[in-house]
Amino acid sequence: RNPMVEDDGVPVRRRMKRARENTEGPLIFLDVDGVLNCAASRAAAANLYLTEKITWEQKLAADAAAPSLLTNLVSLIQQTEAKVVLSSTWRLADRTRDVIEERLRASNIEIIGVTPEATPSDDCAGADGEFSPEVERAIEIMRWLQVECAVESPWIAIDDMDLVGEGGGRMQAAHFVHTDDGQGLTPAKAEEAAEKLLAQRGKEMLASACGDAGDCQGESDSRVRREADREGTASANYTVAVSTA
């Protein structure tokens, strides 16, 4: 079987390109190591390979995603209807990219795109002036959003690297879920990701309904004043609080 061609005869790259054209809706920028796998799952796969109980290809597939962590991703996507953009270094080689695509596709998760590689002209230096993989990853994610995303959509990045604390100010906490390589995407982290995506969707719906934040504030102000008038306190000073968090 040609790994570059699906069972239905559609080349993998063509399917990914076609899927990438539809970028509306919530997006997840997905790391693999430390998210879909963890230190323990990789060690278990390595042990099976070294004792000749599995082949190298089977080890690679096991490395790609631990079943329990993949289940947490499936639950997250079912809850939010998010689409996946691969930001992991697994995207950089055809072999590893095909493995992770196959593992996700088996769980009905389609990768709609991959982030671009940072270029030599990109400033990937951290606070110490040295190369920072966190800054590089943040740059690649933001570039994908700028180039590929036709509309402004809710999005998050899930990564075991600290893209907020070490990302050079390019990543906001509202768009980031920080996992631990020792645990990966736990149910708690998946829930955090869902909450952040749904919070962004709520803001998007509010903006659409009101036109802009100013209209919402005006409507709130008018409503409070009308209520006060009915109670005979039209001369009161009004304080209207509008959440912009």
Q: Is residue 175 part of a domain?
A: yes
Question: What confidence score (pLDDT) does residue 137 get?
Answer: 97
CATH number for the domain that contains residue 75:
3.40.50
Q: 47 and 140 share a domain?
A: yes
Query: pLDDT tens digits for 64-111?
Result: 999 999 999 999 999 999 999 999 999 999 999 999 999 999 999 999
- Full domain range(s) for residue 236: 211-245
Number of domains forming the structure of the chain? 2
Q: Is residue 4 part of a domain?
A: no
Residue type, 230: R
Please report, in angstroms and rounded to a whole number, the separation of the first and last CA atoms in the chain.
51
Q: 130 and 238 share a domain?
A: no
Q: 21 and 65 share a domain?
A: yes
Q: How many CA atoms lie within 13 A of 167 on its CB side?
A: 22
Q: Is residue 3 part of a domain?
A: no
pTM given for the model: 0.76
Q: 231 and 161 share a domain?
A: no
Residues contacting residue 133 through CB under 8 Å, at least 6 positions apart: 124, 161
Q: Is residue 132 part of a domain?
A: yes
Q: 71 and 136 share a domain?
A: yes
Which of 222, 218, 226 lies closest to 242 in space, CA to CA? Answer: 218
What token pair was written down for 137? 């990853």
Please, which pLDDT band fits residue 129 given cuts at 50, 70 and 90? Answer: confident
Sheet of strand 27-30, all strands in order from the earlier edge strand to the far edge: 111-114, 83-86, 27-30, 155-159, 176-178
Q: 131 and 158 share a domain?
A: yes
What token pair was written down for 144? 């994908």
Q: Where are the beta strands (DSSP E) in the chain?
A: 27-30, 83-86, 111-114, 155-159, 176-178
